[in-house]
Amino acid sequence: MTEPDRLPPLAPETWTDEQRRYAQEIIDGPRGALVSPFVPLLRSPELMAHAGRMGEYLRYRSAIGLKLSELAILVTARHWTQQVEWAIHVPIAIKQGIAASAIDAIAAGHRPESLDEEGLLVYDFCVGLHRDHGVSDATWQRAVERFGEQGTIDLVGINGYYALLSMVMNAAHTPVPASTAKPLPIRV
């Protein structure tokens, strides 16, 4: 059973000037609309604006590139069982070249052995952050060697940003948009 949306869309005619200004920034950006995570965040317009700017960088221009960013987003969505992010990002990840077998493994909570060495590095890094609340020295060193310090910090940022969005939407019970992605299985 789907839980009711705690923070549904606000009618634009009810927006404050601050909400309107910051919402327009997001609408005019690469997203082109006030999409799912920004609907509940609209209640805190300045937070929404900062999150929007951070997400715009991390999603579209991070130092690790789109494919690996999408992989990190999926690992984060799996960790938080965040159905909205999963529904949005699975089709994007497929377009970026992440194999369906890897996506299925992530959904099941397994290490996606079909990924290349770079993909496995990102997977291990993300799982370490979420599960162990840190990254081993060996994984950190491999990440810095492969992505540089900026790329490694961007990878941390992607995990943190999408964890924030996951918490917001899980707390708000944000409805899942239509998607070609199979929903994440619920972990007990």
Could you report the per-residue pLDDT of 31-53, keeping only the tens digit for each? 999 999 999 999 999 999 999 99
Look at residue 127 and tell me if it is in a domain: yes
Give the tens place of pLDDT for each residue, 136-153: 999 999 999 999 999 999
Look at residue 188 and tell me if it is in a domain: no
> Range of 161's domain?
66-172
169/36 Cα distance (integer angstroms): 8
Global pTM? Answer: 0.96
Compute CA 37 distance to the chain's CA centroid, rounded to the nearest angstrom.
10
Q: Are residues 148 and 90 in the same domain?
A: yes
